[in-house]
Amino acid sequence: KNEVEQSPQNLTAQEGEFITINCSYSVGISALHWLQQHPGGGIVSLFMLSSGKKKHGRLIATINIQEKHSSLHITASHPRDSAVYICAGNTGNQFYFGTGTSLTVIP
């Protein structure tokens, strides 16, 4: 069993929809990271959080330490949001990655 699990694996949405991607983890972590990977592109860090909630533009990340769960929300989704979203947790310099959620936003 992977230390970090994401759901769903694949997600298709209409432009403008509200999107939620979930992440749960089974190990103790210092911080939870949400990463974005566009097709053929590198991985970009969206958020690093250890408690509460962070917001950047249309993206919101939340974490519940007690439940070992995090969510990434995208409001008013746009086709340019189409990418793979990866959840990762770290303990010190060791990182645990989920397998990613492939999001496709249809115009």
Partner 1 sequence: EAGVAQSPRYKIIEKRQSVAFWCNPISGHATLYWYQQILGQGPKLLIQFQNNGVVDDSQLPKDRFSAERLKGVDSTLKIQPAKLEDSAVYLCASIRAGGRAGELFFGEGSRLTVL
Q: How many residues bind partner 1 (CB under 8 A)?
A: 24
> 17 to 56, contacts with partner 1 by CB under 8 A?
30-31, 33, 35, 40-45, 48
Omega before residue 8 within 30° of 0, cis: yes
Asked if 61 and 71 count as a contact pair (C-beta separation under 8 A), the reply is: yes
Please, what is the minimum distance in Å from the beta carbon of residue 43 to partner 1?
A: 4
Provide the 3-class DSSP secondary structure of residue 81: helix
* Residues in touch with partner 1 (CB under 8 A): 4, 30-31, 33, 35, 40-45, 48, 86, 88, 90-95, 97-100
